[in-house]
Amino acid sequence: MNDDEKAALGALAILGIAALAHNKNHHHDGYSPSTSQSKANFERGYRDGLYNEPYDSRHSSMDYANGFDAGHKERSNRLAHKNSNVSGTKVPAQAMRSCVSEAASSWGVRERDVHPVKAGQEGADNFYIELASGHRHVICGTNSQGQVFNLRNGRL
C-alpha cells in the first residue's frame, strides 16, 4: 500500500469514527452495534430512515432495523417544528437558543443536532420547551431572557 492509499484509509477511519460518535444518542438504551458489519448495517438503516427511503426487507437485520428506527425518529424530530405548537407558542429567540445550547452541552452533541419538538408557556414569562436528539428528550424551562431554570429528562 502506498502513502496515498494509507492516507485515504486513515481519513476514512476518522470519518467513520466521527459518524458513529455523532449517532451515539440514536441508539436505544443498552443497544450498541458490536462488530464492524453490525455498525455498517445500523448506519445503512439509519440513513434509509432519515431520508425516508423504504425499509429494505431483502437485506434486513436487527442492526439495520434498529438503525432504520433511529433514522426515522431523527427525521421526525427534525420535522417536528413544522407540525407542533413550537411556533404557535412564540418562544423568544434567546430562550430557544439558551435551551438548545444547554441540551447540546449536556448530551455532548452539536447544537444543530438538537431539535425543538413542543413548547408551552406558563404565566407571562416562563416557557417550557421539549427538545430531542435521537431517542433522547429533555424539557427545558426558561424565561424570555434565556435564563434556564430547569432541565430535566422527559416529554411535555
CA 13 to CA 156: how far, in whole Å? 39
**Is the pTM higher than 0.75?**
no
For 103-114, b/e burial (b = at least 16 CB within 10 A) is: bbeebebeeebb
pLDDT at residue 146, as a whole number: 92
pLDDT in 10s for each residue of the chain, 156 residues: 666 666 555 555 555 544 444 455 566 655 677 788 888 888 888 888 888 888 888 888 888 888 888 888 878 777 765 544 465 678 888 999 999 999 999 988 888 888 888 888 888 889 999 998 888 899 999 999 999 999 998 887
In the chain, where are the structural domains located? 3-81, 85-153
| Architecture of the domain made up of 85-153 | Roll (3.10)
